[in-house]
Amino acid sequence: MMEIEAMKKVMFLGWILFVFLTGNPVWAQSGGHASVGLGHGEEGYLHLEEMVKHLEFSLKMQDASEELKTHGPVALQHAKEALKHYNEALKHGSEALGRPAGMPMAEGSGEERVPRREEEGSSHSHDEGSH
């Protein structure tokens, strides 16, 4: 009888060890994917910010087309609203990963947000007139 109880304990502890060892890498993998996703979101936020800047600039130009004058302000308004929602999503994503709950991409935070870097072989250009 004693051997059966001991065997049950060993099997139970073995099962707990198995779950811990197999569950931990899965959690780490999901956390890694979430972190990569958050990074893509931060990049997307910066691209949307650039869109807003380009729209604002183009609306100030003398040769702006009638279509741009008509639809540009609405597009600009929606893009600015999207930035607010995007920022909120990034905040929650950061919190989900255990990062500081501050507004990571907030305007006027006084901090350098994300340094602009070009990947080797990148074809992205942000010069005026390159679009």
CA-angle at 59, arms to 56 and 63, nearest 5°: 145
Element (H, E) at 100: none
C-alpha 87/C-alpha 100 separation (Å) is 14
pLDDT value of position 49: 96
C-alpha 73/C-alpha 64 separation (Å) is 12
Q: Is the per-residue pLDDT at 111 higher than 50?
A: no
pTM confidence score: 0.57
What average pLDDT does this structure show over 51-68?
95
pLDDT value of position 48: 95
- Judge whether 94 and 38 are in contact, CB under 8 Å: yes
Q: State the DSSP code for 64.
A: -
What average pLDDT does this structure show over 1-29?
69
Average pLDDT, the chain: 76
pLDDT value of position 117: 43
Q: For 85, list phi and psi in degrees, rounded to 5.
A: -65, -40
